[in-house]
């Protein structure tokens, strides 16, 4: 059983905790630096990115998180979590963690009423498409050379015209990020994929 922290400052952290519990893992709510001790991985959930960053600053989490990321600690950011992990987030009045070599545009698909769903091809998860829920999702404007694109938006009637072909799931070493909300569906394959990343790090010789 892995101890997976879920940044519980705001947003949909409870949904991630429920998935982890269903998968037999220990979910640990993280609000202060001491909550980061003895974890095997961390999920940064969706929410409102400005509020998210303000609370991270208020609770003194920026530097502890940067330290963990610099040590190869597995972290997965969904939606707002992707924004915070990016090298640059356009129009964000707070610094990012800079752990992922991507540039994102916050809320670029529109407001809450412009939320949408799409069937994604994610080859690393198998042949079955992944149903993805996008809520005020960030758009990945550019991807660095060291970043692996796991999924892109397809063309289709439910996809915003500017979105087709856009990267929506990326990985750079120990950092995973998705522009959508896997915790809002019954498909746990991305959570299992992240747990595999955690297990791979645990298996490395010290």
Q: Is 191 a catalytic residue?
A: no
Largest alpha-carbon pair distance within the chain? 50
Cross-strand partners of 90: 105
Q: Is 181 a catalytic residue?
A: yes
Residue 27, φ and ψ in degrees, nearest 5: -95, 130
d(CA 37, CA 73) in angstroms, rounded, equals 12
Is the CB of residue 30 less than 8 Å from the CB of residue 7?
yes
Q: Is 151 exposed, middle or buried (0-12, 13-18, 19+ CB in 10 A)?
A: buried
Is the CB of residue 170 less than 8 Å from the CB of residue 147?
yes
**Backbone angle region of 110, left / alpha / beta, with phi > 0 → left and psi within -120 to 50 → alpha:** left
Active-site annotation holder among 15, 17, 174, 181: 181
At which residue do the structure tokens 């969706």 appear? 46
Active-site annotation holder among 16, 17, 79, 191: 79
Q: Is 53 a catalytic residue?
A: no
Active-site annotation holder among 16, 17, 183, 191: 183
Active site residues: 79, 181, 183
């Amino acid at each position: 059983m892995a101890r997976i922290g879920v940044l519980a400052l705001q947003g949909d952290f409870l949904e991630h905790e429920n998935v982890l519990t269903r998968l037999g893992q220990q979910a640990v709510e993280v609000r202060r630096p001491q909550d980061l001790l003895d974890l095997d991985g961390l999920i940064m959930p969706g929410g409102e990115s400005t509020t998210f960053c303000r609370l991270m600053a208020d609770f003194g989490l920026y530097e502890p998180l940067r330290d963990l990321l610099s040590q190869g600690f597995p972290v997965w950011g969904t939606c707002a979590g992707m924004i915070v992990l990016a090298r640059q987030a356009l129009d964000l009045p707070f610094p990012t963690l800079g752990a992922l070599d991507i540039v994102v545009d916050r809320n670029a698909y529109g407001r809450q009423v412009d939320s949408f769903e799409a069937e994604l091809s994610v080859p690393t998860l198998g042949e079955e498409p992944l149903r993805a829920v996008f809520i005020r999702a960030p758009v990945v404007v550019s991807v660095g050379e060291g970043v692996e694109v796991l999924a892109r938006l397809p063309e289709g009637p439910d996809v915003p015209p500017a979105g087709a072909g856009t990267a929506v799931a990326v990985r750079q070493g120990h950092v995973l990020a998705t522009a959508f909300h896997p915790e809002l569906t019954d498909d746990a394959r991305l959570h299992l994929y992240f747990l595999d990343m955690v297990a791979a790090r645990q298996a490395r010789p010290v």
